[in-house]
């Protein structure tokens, strides 16, 4: 084949592996965020929206107690993303910030799923920021897995 052919083949294989790492790590992070989202009716989990090039806008009408519908949408969208394209994973619910950072208090909006300091009992440290802190470890784990594939 020659050196040029070998380099071309190496470049193609490297790009394929990098794409697998990108998709795999993004899927893991998105799934962890989705499953980590507090659930009462399933609306917050359902509203995690993946998109390519531009962030999704609006709120989805639906419920997803398990998070599996949102994760399936994430996986389907990740299958379409190309290296270098901006990829977004957003939740546009008006109360998502409160779920992440607290603020329910003990007054209106407080439920049996909030604590006395205004945070969700299910996710008192949020769901997005604690998982984003794990990003480097997620990428390393997925990269090791992809590197060991034939």
pLDDT 10s digits, 56-113? 999 999 999 999 999 999 999 999 999 889 999 999 999 899 889 877 665 555 566 6
Number of domain units in the chain: 1
Domain that holds residue 38: 20-147
In a domain, 50, yes or no: yes
In a domain, 112, yes or no: yes
pLDDT 10s digits, 115-137? 656 667 777 788 999 999 999 99
Q: What's the pTM value of the predicted model, to 2 decimals?
A: 0.84
CB 70 within 8 A of CB 50: no
In a domain, 3, yes or no: no
In a domain, 56, yes or no: yes
Residue 64: Cβ-neighbour burial (10 angstroms; 0-12, 13-18, 19+): buried
């Amino acid at each position: 084949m020659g050196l040029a052919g070998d380099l071309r083949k190496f470049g193609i294989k490297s790009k394929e592996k990098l794409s697998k790492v990108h998709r795999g790590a993004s899927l893991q992070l998105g799934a962890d965020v989705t499953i980590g989202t507090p659930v009462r009716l399933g609306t917050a989990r359902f509203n995690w929206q993946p998109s390519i090039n531009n962030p999704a806008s609006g709120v989805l009408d639906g419920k997803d107690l398990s998070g599996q519908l949102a994760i399936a949408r994430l996986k389907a969208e990740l299958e379409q993303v190309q290296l270098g394209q901006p990829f977004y994973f957003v939740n546009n619910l008006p109360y998502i910030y409160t779920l992440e950072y607290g603020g329910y208090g003990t007054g209106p909006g407080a439920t049996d799923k909030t604590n006395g300091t205004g945070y969700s009992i299910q996710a008192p440290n949020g769901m997005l920021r604690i998982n984003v802190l794990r990003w480097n470890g997620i990428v390393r784990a997925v990269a090791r897995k992809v590197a060991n594939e034939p």
